[in-house]
Chain A
């Protein structure tokens, strides 16, 4: 199923350049999340959204910003990419209540 689409799937960028990752959902879920996954750390929350234009910071938000102008889209921006932001980025969504979470396929970002 293609309930959540992350784009791009892979990206290589240079240090200091801006990068935007996109998460698009067709589930009409209220809540959306960005996580990063690094070896030895599991997944860590960067930012989350609880509605259009409503976002908040997670555990590792420094160097990242997000925007949600439509229910279906949640954008993650690295204003000036650094090598420490090389990671796999996962988007997730949740409807409401005790429902489970749906994850996208991930975006592998390499900053050189």
Chain B
């Protein structure tokens, strides 16, 4: 079973509208973290926002906010007032513990391709 599910392979949104990108996750751990990354056409992975499982308030970073609903295992990214430069792939990822050496790492969803139209 997928640990991170992004159900929207692609989205078209009008400029200046708000966008919600869906992400659900599956874990039995009590301590975990949820990340969103942006990947523009140039290919680099850009960190957007982080939510820890024990954080009581939803994370916000400028125009980005994370709608964290722990009981529903949902961590949707909200982009307010979208801009043409927001067109990119967006990945939801979950930090989980690994077996070796106290390490942890990220498991990614398959991504959502967001296109902002003028």
Contacts and interface: CB of A to CB of B under 8 A. Distances in A.
Interface of A: 31, 33, 35, 40-45, 48, 50-51, 54-56, 58-59, 88, 90, 92, 94, 98, 100-101, 103, 105-106
B33 interface: yes
A94 B33 CA distance: 14
Interface residues of B, number: 26
A105 to B, nearest CB: 6
Contacts of B4: 42
Given A98-B33, A100-B35, A45 B101 contact: no
Contacts of B50: 100
Given A42-B108, A54-B100, A56-B98, 11 more contacts: A31-B105, A33-B105, A41-B110, A42-B4, A42-B111, A45-B107, A56-B100, A56-B101, A101-B106, A103-B45, A106-B43
* Chain A interface, DSSP helix/strand/loop, else mixed: strand
B100 A48 contact: yes
Given A41-B110, A42-B108, A43-B108, A48 B103 contact: yes
Contacts of A54: 100-101
A42 B105 contact: no
Nearest to A58: B105
Contacts of B52: 98
A40 B109 CA distance: 9
Nearest to A44: B108
Max count, chain B CB within 10 A of own CB: residue among A43, A55, A98: A43
Contacts of A92: 45, 106
